[in-house]
């Protein structure tokens, strides 16, 4: 039996996941105005795969609709569990149900929450969810070499560097390496 034969996608997309300081919950259209502000912030955007400086609410609404109907993407908002404050987003993308793998992405958009363990708690929540609830075997991610804060958090959570894509990312007129990291279910 294929994993996709028994996954209730609507239920999964409505889940709330608690881990340490964070609540992982469904991303809603009410979150998108704040999301866009974060994505347009150069300090946040420099760590992302795309340049969102011209992002519009309409584009973001279309993206949310697409993600919510996808069978291979799961996106979530990240809240400060104690204060019930929206601080970022995360997602599992390109879920390959046959090989039981996915790609992970995270952005802590509220810079007041950087370096305070909210990222690590989110990563651990998604690892547990992917391995225990979705029965995945491997999570992969891409991170730029200058994002040392994220690299340290990923390593702390058990990710290892599997590959280095040499000078494939242009930022501030300089080509940077991209690290491909992964974690496998034990």
Domain boundaries, given as residue ranges, for the chain: 3-141
- Structure confidence at residue 14 as a pLDDT band (50, 70, 90): confident
- 2 has pLDDT over 60: no
pLDDT at res. 104: 98
Beta bridge partners of 139: 102, 183
Beta-carbon neighbour count of residue 84 at 10 Å?
9
Banded pLDDT at 1 (limits 50, 70, 90): very low
pLDDT per residue as tens digits for the range 130-153: 999 899 999 999 999 999 999 999
Structure tokens at 59: 């584009």
* 53 has a pLDDT exceeding 90: no
Once rounded to an integer, what is the mean pLDDT over residues 123-127?
97
N-term to C-term CA, the chain: 22
What is the pLDDT of the chain when averaged over all its residues? 92
- On the question of pLDDT at 47 being above 50, the answer is yes
More confident residue, 50 or 127: 127
Name the CATH architecture for the domain at 3-141. 3-Layer(aba) Sandwich (3.40)
Average pLDDT over residues 73-79: 96
pLDDT given for residue 5 in this prediction: 52
């Amino acid at each position: 039996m294929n994993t996709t034969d028994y996954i209730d996608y609507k239920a999964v997309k409505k889940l709330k996941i608690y881990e340490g300081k964070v609540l992982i919950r469904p991303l809603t259209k009410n979150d998108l105005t704040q999301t866009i502000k974060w994505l347009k912030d150069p300090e946040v955007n420099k760590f992302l795969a795309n340049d969102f400086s011209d992002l519009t609410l309409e584009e973001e609404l279309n993206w949310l609709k697409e993600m919510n109907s996808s069978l291979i993407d799961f996106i979530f908002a990240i809240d400060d569990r104690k204060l019930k404050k929206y601080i970022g987003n995360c997602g599992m993308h390109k879920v390959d149900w046959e090989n039981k793998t996915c790609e992970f992405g995270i952005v802590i958009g509220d810079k007041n929450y950087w370096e305070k363990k909210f990222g690590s708690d989110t990563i651990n929540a998604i690892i547990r969810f992917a391995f225990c609830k979705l029965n995945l075997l491997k999570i992969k991610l891409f991170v730029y070499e200058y994002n040392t804060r994220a690299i340290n958090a990923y390593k702390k959570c058990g990710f290892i560097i599997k590959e280095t894509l040499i000078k494939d990312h242009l930022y501030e007129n300089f080509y940077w390496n991209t690290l491909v990291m992964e974690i496998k279910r034990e």
